[in-house]
């Protein structure tokens, strides 16, 4: 399988319009457009019944107050996973998500992402479906965001409220193929590309 996006170059800088957080002219972090990037996949294995789509950041700091003398979280600090999106039971005939598709308009079932810790999204919808990058501006590490597609030979029997961990437990033995595309993002003014 192959997963591609016309919204950003593979391993390139993710444009701000796809982020949950962007830099304000004042230098502060503000709410971004939070648009879903375009994604398309091909080379789907025979027997595919559904897809799972997700976006994961494996570069989230484990200690927000562990800063060096410059005030930044060191790039060498141990990191953890942060789930930005999980969409399960996407029908087998779907091969693309258009850029800017609404968080509730992607076919299949939307799971909770890690912007919420409880069992319900925020009042503004944050936490359900896609919520893009918003790394801390004082992090000395670029964050790499991985968009992943899994082809499954089954429709998942999901609980009404689910997270990526629930999906991971259910897909064991049912994955026919996977593909991913990555992009990078930062809000650290020292690291951001000019322009």
Counting every residue written for the chain, the total comes to 195
Which distant-in-sequence residues (6+ apart) come within 8 Å of 2 by Cβ?
A: 41, 42, 43, 179
Q: Are 4 and 170 in contact (CB under 8 A)?
A: no
103 falls in which pLDDT band (50, 70, 90)? confident
pLDDT at 195 > cutoff 70: no
pLDDT value at residue 35: 96
Instruction: Tell me which DSSP letter residue 131 carries.
Output: -
pLDDT tens for residues 168-186? 999 999 999 999 999 999 9
DSSP assignment of 71-99: SSBPTTS-EEEEEEEEEEEEETT--EE-T
Among 166, 145, 172, 110, smallest CA distance to 7 is for: 145
30, 24 Cβ separation under 8 angstroms: yes
pTM for this entry: 0.95
pLDDT above 90 (res 194) = no
User: Dihedral through CA 26, CA 27, CA 29, CA 32, nearest 10?
Assistant: 70
For residue range 44-53, what is the model confidence (pLDDT) as tens digits?
999 999 999 9
């Amino acid at each position: 399988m192959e997963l591609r996006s016309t919204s950003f170059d593979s391993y390139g800088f993710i444009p701000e319009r796809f982020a949950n957080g962007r830099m304000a002219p004042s230098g502060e972090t503000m709410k971004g457009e939070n648009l879903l990037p375009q994604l398309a996949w091909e080379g789907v294995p025979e027997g595919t019944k559904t897809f799972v789509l997700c976006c994961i950041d494996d570069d989230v700091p484990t200690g927000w107050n562990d800063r060096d003398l410059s005030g930044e979280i060191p790039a060498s600090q141990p990191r953890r996973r942060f789930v930005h999106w999980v969409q399960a039971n996407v029908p087998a005939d779907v091969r693309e998500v258009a850029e800017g598709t609404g968080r509730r308009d992607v076919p299949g079932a939307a799971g909770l992402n890690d912007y919420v810790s409880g069992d319900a999204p925020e009042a503004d919808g944050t936490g359900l479906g896609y919520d893009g990058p918003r790394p801390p501006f004082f992090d000395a590490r670029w964050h790499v965001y991985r968009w992943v597609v899994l082809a499954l030979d089954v429709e998942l029997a999901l609980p009404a409220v689910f997270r990526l961990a629930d999906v991971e437990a259910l897909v064991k033995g049912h994955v026919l193929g996977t593909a991913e595309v990555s992009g990078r993002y930062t809000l650290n003014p020292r690291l951001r590309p000019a322009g």
